[in-house]
């Protein structure tokens, strides 16, 4: 007993002589229970208090003040970190969803939260550097607000900061000392730098998610370590304990399902039948997508003719504007249900394969529809006799985003609520529906793609999408809890988020960048509206700015960068080669880590 007491006193003395950071780390690393660690910490604090009391007479007033300030700042920092943790958006909700429905459904809500943060960032950038300066030079809006503008985006909204055509091409706030705000440069640089940041963030997020979910050795550490070593002993609340138990139970079930996958052996006849079913399903899905794109194209042409003719009755004109977005949204809602039925018909062994195939068919449909609309906007609307074709495109995208949001809410009601009522009362054999991950994820990617395209023509569109995503999260969460059941086949879907980000990167962001590039470099802006009126192209504003900078000695470096790097094909060729080499080396490192992980896994199994 004396030996144990002496060892503990020595330990307390050693800890008391350490710095605060070292002492905290040392206590955390002790192989003791939380109760024992708290006792040791309290003894150390008492020992420090005794020592400080002995030497208090020797300390000066400044030293004591610094000590008190340090302690107060440390307490404030710890309290602030606790409150920041509590303010994390939907943290508890995501834990509940993961515990009840597994990582496959959770991946959808994580992706939705990530897109919401993306749109908050987009809205803050556009509002700060484009919209706020425009308020200084804004002219009063003489149009009356009727309420229909909320659906059509036309009328009163046409003369607001919501659309490209309202922004001035003048220099704002020009003073005698030469300080000014060039709206043309602000508009094009804000949009351009925003897309560069989006590209880098998305690339970094994909790489981070890929490393965490595909090549992290902890993924292959086995179920024993997950069962014995992952419990958080800081959890004391009863509800939190039960939620943590559900999460661990679901994760272990998913891992066991991956390990114990059954490989079914089919006869030659059954294999031929399955191949024919797969081929027939793909032919049907591609044929449906082609028919939908053809319908959207001819309807868009007819919609433009009706708009250009003009109607005496404003109500009829407003209704004509809504025909295209309603039909496009109907196709995007109804056809995915047909794709889901095809997926059930094909009877995939692995639920992950079914989701991947469904997502592939949906992405072909939705990106094809967006591609047809972009062709219509860039080749037909831009060449029309409209006074401001950019605002016309912005209004089209506003209506598509709004109607798509409405149909998303209706899809939750008709697709999940009524399905549950039918499955529990009329046709009991159908049962309660499962959450359709593929269809819902593609709805998010479709909406985000429209928002990215619309940023150039409607700078505040991310703000609208930010509100819609927030509402969609709560509606989907309530619908999931009330109308859906957990997946019948439990499976691990940690890699799904990486796949979603890849789809958002390609073809979504890659296609959007192509559309923006064509608009900025090739199309001639409207003569009577927008910040680029009177120019041969939007990019001409940058060329004129460079010509002005050539007259200033202090700006020669900017001119040199523009002439030798930005406009140089050789520079971009070298940059592309370096990027390919870096990607190749990174891929070799990943393959090496994968090999190490496999060896580690074999050692653990043995």
For 100, the 3-state DSSP assignment is helix
C-beta of residue 538 within 8 angstroms of C-beta of residue 520? yes
- Considering the domain architecture, whether residues 435 and 306 belong to the same structural domain is answered as yes
pLDDT in tens, 176-232: 555 678 889 999 999 999 999 998 888 888 877 777 766 554 444 445 555 555 565
The confidence score (pLDDT) of residue 359 equals: 84
Percent of the chain topping pLDDT 90: 25
Percent of the chain topping pLDDT 70: 75
Instruction: Determine the Cα–Cα distance for residues 96 and 224; give it in Å rounded to an integer.
Output: 24
The confidence score (pLDDT) of residue 219 equals: 46
Q: Give the residue, 105 or 215, on which the prediction is more confident.
A: 105
Across 43-65, average pLDDT: 65
480, 513, 535: which is the final residue of a domain? 535
C-beta of residue 120 within 8 angstroms of C-beta of residue 451? no
* CA dist 140 → 107, 362, 508 (Å): 46, 44, 38
- Considering the domain architecture, whether residues 97 and 39 belong to the same structural domain is answered as no
The pLDDT confidence band at residue 568, using thresholds 50, 70 and 90, is confident
Instruction: Determine the Cα–Cα distance for residues 322 and 153; give it in Å rounded to an integer.
Output: 10
φ, ψ for residue 126, nearest 5 deg: -65, -40
Q: Are strands 181-182 and 171-172 parallel, antiparallel or unpaired?
A: antiparallel
145-159, 324-338, 512-526: least confident range: 145-159
- Considering the domain architecture, whether residues 297 and 429 belong to the same structural domain is answered as yes
- Considering the domain architecture, whether residues 2 and 127 belong to the same structural domain is answered as no
490, 514, 535: which is the final residue of a domain? 535
Query: Is 124 among the domain residues?
Result: yes
Which of 85-89, 272-276, 287-291, 425-429 holds the top average pLDDT?
Answer: 287-291
- Considering the domain architecture, whether residues 122 and 33 belong to the same structural domain is answered as no
* CA dist 110 → 100, 210, 212 (Å): 15, 15, 15
C-beta of residue 260 within 8 angstroms of C-beta of residue 223? no
- Considering the domain architecture, whether residues 352 and 204 belong to the same structural domain is answered as yes
Give CA 375 to chain center in angstroms.
26
For 568, the 3-state DSSP assignment is coil
The confidence score (pLDDT) of residue 220 equals: 44
Which domain covers residue 333, as residue numbers? 89-173+180-535
Query: Is 470 among the domain residues?
Result: yes
* Structural tokens at position 327: 């039909």
pLDDT exceeds cutoff 60 at 83: no
Quick one: which of 556, 487, 585, 531 has its CA closest to 388? Answer: 531
Q: Give the residue, 389 or 172, on which the prediction is more confident.
A: 389
Which of 37-46, 99-108, 345-354, 506-515 holds the top average pLDDT?
Answer: 506-515
Instruction: Determine the Cα–Cα distance for residues 378 and 397; give it in Å rounded to an integer.
Output: 13
- Considering the domain architecture, whether residues 384 and 263 belong to the same structural domain is answered as yes
Across 116-135, average pLDDT: 91
Query: Is 254 among the domain residues?
Result: yes
pLDDT in tens, 303-316: 777 666 655 456 66
pLDDT in tens, 396-453: 999 999 999 999 888 887 778 888 888 888 877 777 888 888 788 888 999 999 999 9
Across 73-96, average pLDDT: 65
- Considering the domain architecture, whether residues 143 and 13 belong to the same structural domain is answered as no
* CA dist 523 → 130, 184, 187, 515 (Å): 21, 16, 16, 11
Cis, peptide link before residue 507, omega less than 30° from 0? yes
Instruction: Determine the Cα–Cα distance for residues 21 and 15; give it in Å rounded to an integer.
Output: 11
The confidence score (pLDDT) of residue 210 equals: 73
Query: Is 598 among the domain residues?
Result: no
497, 517, 535: which is the final residue of a domain? 535
Q: Give the residue, 127 or 80, on which the prediction is more confident.
A: 127
pLDDT exceeds cutoff 60 at 301: yes
pLDDT in tens, 546-564: 888 888 887 888 888 888 8
- Considering the domain architecture, whether residues 40 and 138 belong to the same structural domain is answered as no
Across 42-59, average pLDDT: 67
Query: Is 196 among the domain residues?
Result: yes
Instruction: Determine the Cα–Cα distance for residues 281 and 275; give it in Å rounded to an integer.
Output: 10
Quick one: which H or E segment has residue 489? none
What is the torsional sign of CA 318, 320, 321, 327?
positive
Instruction: Determine the Cα–Cα distance for residues 490 and 340; give it in Å rounded to an integer.
Output: 19
pLDDT in tens, 322-339: 888 999 999 988 898 888
Mind giving me the DSSP string for 258-315? HHT---PPPPHHHHHHHHHHHHHHHHHHHHHHHHHHHHHHHHHHHHHHHHHH--S-HH
The confidence score (pLDDT) of residue 457 equals: 94
The confidence score (pLDDT) of residue 225 equals: 55
Across 75-104, average pLDDT: 69
The confidence score (pLDDT) of residue 494 equals: 56
Domain count, the chain: 2
- Considering the domain architecture, whether residues 137 and 13 belong to the same structural domain is answered as no
- Considering the domain architecture, whether residues 2 and 126 belong to the same structural domain is answered as no
Query: Is 74 among the domain residues?
Result: no
Q: What share of the chain is helix, strand, coil (3-state, %, to 5)?
A: 75, 0, 20
122-126, 212-216, 386-390, 430-434: least confident range: 212-216
For 218, the 3-state DSSP assignment is helix
Instruction: Determine the Cα–Cα distance for residues 434 and 357; give it in Å rounded to an integer.
Output: 17
pLDDT exceeds cutoff 70 at 571: yes
Instruction: Determine the Cα–Cα distance for residues 84 and 69; give it in Å rounded to an integer.
Output: 22
What is the torsional sign of CA 519, 522, 528, 531?
positive
Contacts of 20 (CB under 8 A, 6+ apart): 74
251-260, 293-302, 380-389: least confident range: 251-260
- Considering the domain architecture, whether residues 389 and 269 belong to the same structural domain is answered as yes
Across 245-268, average pLDDT: 63
Quick one: which of 533, 436, 421 has its CA closest to 480? Answer: 436
25-39, 244-258, 276-290: least confident range: 244-258
Query: Is 61 among the domain residues?
Result: no
The pLDDT confidence band at residue 350, using thresholds 50, 70 and 90, is confident
For 171, the 3-state DSSP assignment is strand
Query: Is 478 among the domain residues?
Result: yes
């Amino acid at each position: 007993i004396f030996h144990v007491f002496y060892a503990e006193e020595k330990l307390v003395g050693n800890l008391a002589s350490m710095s605060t950071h070292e002492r905290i780390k040392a206590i955390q690393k002790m192989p003791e229970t939380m109760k024992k660690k708290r006792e040791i910490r309290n003894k150390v604090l008492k020992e420090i208090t005794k020592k400080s009391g002995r030497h208090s007479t020797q300390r000066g007033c400044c030293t004591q003040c610094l000590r008190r300030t340090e302690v107060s700042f440390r307490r404030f920092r710890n309290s602030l970190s606790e409150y920041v943790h509590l303010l994390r958006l939907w943290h508890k909700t995501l834990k509940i969803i993961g515990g009840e429905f597994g990582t496959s459904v959770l991946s959808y809500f994580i992706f939705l939260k990530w897109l919401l943060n993306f749109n908050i960032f987009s809205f803050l950038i556009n509002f700060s550097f484009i919209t706020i300066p425009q308020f200084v030079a804004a002219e009063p809006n003489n149009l009356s607000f009727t309420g229909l503008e909320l659906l059509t985006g036309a009328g009163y909204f046409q003369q607001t900061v919501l659309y490209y055509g309202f922004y001035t091409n003048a220099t704002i706030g020009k003073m005698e000392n030469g300080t000014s705000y060039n709206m043309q440069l602000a508009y094009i640089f804000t949009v351009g730098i925003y897309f560069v940041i989006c590209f880098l963030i998305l690339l970094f997020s994909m790489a981070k998610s890929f490393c965490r979910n595909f090549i992290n050795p902890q993924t292959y550490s086995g179920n024993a370590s997950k069962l014995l070593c992952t419990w958080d002993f800081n959890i004391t609340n009863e509800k939190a304990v039960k939620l943590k138990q559900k999460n661990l139970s679901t994760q272990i079930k998913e891992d066991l399902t991956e390990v114990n996958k059954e490989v079914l052996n089919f006869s030659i006849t059954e294999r031929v039948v399955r191949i024919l079913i797969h081929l027939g399903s793909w032919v049907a899905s591609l044929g449906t997508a082609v028919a939908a794109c053809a319908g959207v194209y001819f309807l868009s042409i007819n919609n433009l003719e009706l708009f250009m003719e003009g109607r005496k009755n404003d109500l009829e004109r407003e209704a004509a504007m809504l025909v295209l977005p309603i039909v496009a949204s109907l196709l995007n809602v109804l056809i995915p249900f047909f794709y889901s039925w095809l997926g059930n018909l094909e009877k995939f062994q692995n639920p992950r394969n079914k989701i991947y195939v469904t997502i592939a068919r949906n992405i072909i449909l939705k990106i094809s529809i967006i591609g047809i609309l972009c062709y219509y906007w860039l080749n037909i609307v831009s060449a029309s006799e409209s006074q401001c074709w950019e605002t016309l495109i912005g209004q089209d995208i506003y209506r598509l985003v709004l109607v798509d949001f409405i149909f998303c809410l209706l899809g939750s009601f008709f697709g999940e609520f009524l399905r549950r009522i039918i499955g529990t009362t009329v046709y009991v054999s159908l049962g309660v529906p499962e959450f359709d991950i593929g269809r819902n994820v593609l709805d998010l990617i479709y909406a985000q793609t429209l928002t990215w395209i619309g940023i150039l023509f409607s700078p505040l569109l991310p703000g609208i999408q930010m509100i819609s995503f927030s509402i969609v999260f709560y509606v989907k969460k309530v619908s999931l809890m009330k109308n859906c059941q957990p997946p019948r086949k439990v499976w691990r879907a940690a890699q799904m988020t990486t796949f979603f980000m890849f789809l958002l990167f390609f073809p979504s962001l890659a296609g959007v960048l192509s559309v923006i590039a064509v608009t900025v470099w090739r199309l001639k802006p409207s003569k009577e509206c927008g910040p680029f009126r009177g120019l041969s192209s939007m990019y001409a504003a940058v060329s004129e700015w460079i010509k002005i900078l050539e007259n200033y000695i202090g700006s020669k470096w900017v001119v040199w960068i523009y002439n030798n790097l930005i406009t140089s094909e050789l520079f971009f060729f070298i940059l592309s080669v370096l990027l390919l080499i870096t990607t190749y080396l990174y891929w070799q490192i990943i393959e090496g880590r994968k090999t190490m992980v496999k060896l580690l896994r074999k050692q653990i199994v043995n």
